[in-house]
Chain A
Amino acid sequence: MVKPTKVTNSIRAVREAAGVTQAELARRVGVTRQTLIAIEQGRYSPTLELAFQLSRAFGVGLDDLFDYPEE
């Protein structure tokens, strides 16, 4: 059921560098802390809308937060 995804993210590193807790970031983008943990651990691919919200929460571009490797 769980299909592998090539999309990786550096949310945890960016969040920790910014000194933001998981609970704080989750509240800011309107998701539960468990959902944020699942995204950080690569167990859930966020929707495009949520991806934009996350990148805007840190004031960075989508490419700075998410990575999709070239074939």
Chain B
Amino acid sequence: MVYEERNIWASLIASVVGVAVYVILVLQQAAGGPLTDVDWVPLMLWTIGGSIVAAIVISIVWGILAGMRDPDGVGTSDQRDRDISAMSGRVGQAFTVIAGLGVIVLCAFEADWFWIANCMFFGFAVSSIVGGIASVIAYRRGLL
């Protein structure tokens, strides 16, 4: 597995776990009550921060382990990595745009801050996860 693919896996794992943890924490805090009563700001910020740190840590640890087996290719990337990155960016971008439009609609209807923030949060999350999955598929099955 090449350097960039490891980074994508690390980011994908961190994103999926981060979103799952966030949803569980929000539902726990809501305890069956309205979601808009949840103090979502610290939960969201900690989730985003934790996911970023987790992705970096996973990537570094994985890189160290991979470097023991293949010291030459540990930090190398090439044209295929850039092509795959561009493709996954295009795939993921669609979800960011959808979330952005969702935010506009929610603002137009003066929705609660909770829904506006979470619409954007899940837009970024889905964009990152779908883009990551597209990258992994391209690495495994090919990019033509």
Using a CB–CB cutoff of 8 Å, the interface residues on chain A facing chain B are 1-5, 23, 27, 30-35, 38, 41-47, 49-50
How many B residues have CB within 8 A of the partner chain? 20
Given A32-B80, A34-B73, A35-B81, output 11 extra A-B contacts at Cβ < 8 Å.
A2-B143, A23-B72, A32-B81, A35-B78, A38-B80, A41-B142, A44-B144, A45-B144, A47-B79, A47-B83, A50-B79
- Contact between A43 and B143 (Cβ–Cβ < 8 Å)? yes
* Count of inter-chain pairs, beta carbons less than 8 A: 59
- Contact between A31 and B79 (Cβ–Cβ < 8 Å)? yes
Contacts of B142 in A (CB 8 A): 2, 38, 41-44
- Whether B137 sits at the interface, judged by CB under 8 Å, is yes
- Contact between B76 and A3 (Cβ–Cβ < 8 Å)? no
- Contact between A43 and B144 (Cβ–Cβ < 8 Å)? yes
Q: Give Cα A42 to B5, complex, Å.
A: 19
- Indicate which residue in B5, B76, B141 contacts A43 across the interface (CB closer than 8 Å): B141
Q: How far is the CB of A20 from chain B (nearest CB, A)?
A: 16
- Indicate which residue in A4, A34, A50 contacts B144 across the interface (CB closer than 8 Å): A4
B37-74: CB near A (< 8 Å → 1, else 0) gives 00000000000000000000000000000000000110
Contacts of B143 in A (CB 8 A): 2, 38, 43-45
The 4 closest A-B pairs by CB, nearest first: A43-B142, A31-B78, A35-B80, A5-B144
Q: Chain A residue with minimal CB distance to B138?
A: A1
Q: Give Cα A40 to B83, complex, Å.
A: 17
Contacts of A32 in B (CB 8 A): 2-3, 73, 76-78, 80-81
Q: How far is the CB of A50 from chain B (nearest CB, A)?
A: 6
- Whether B134 sits at the interface, judged by CB under 8 Å, is yes
Q: Give Cα A40 to B29, complex, Å.
A: 53
- Contact between A2 and B73 (Cβ–Cβ < 8 Å)? no
**In the complex, chain B residues 20-43 whose Cβ is within 8 Å of any chain A Cβ:** none
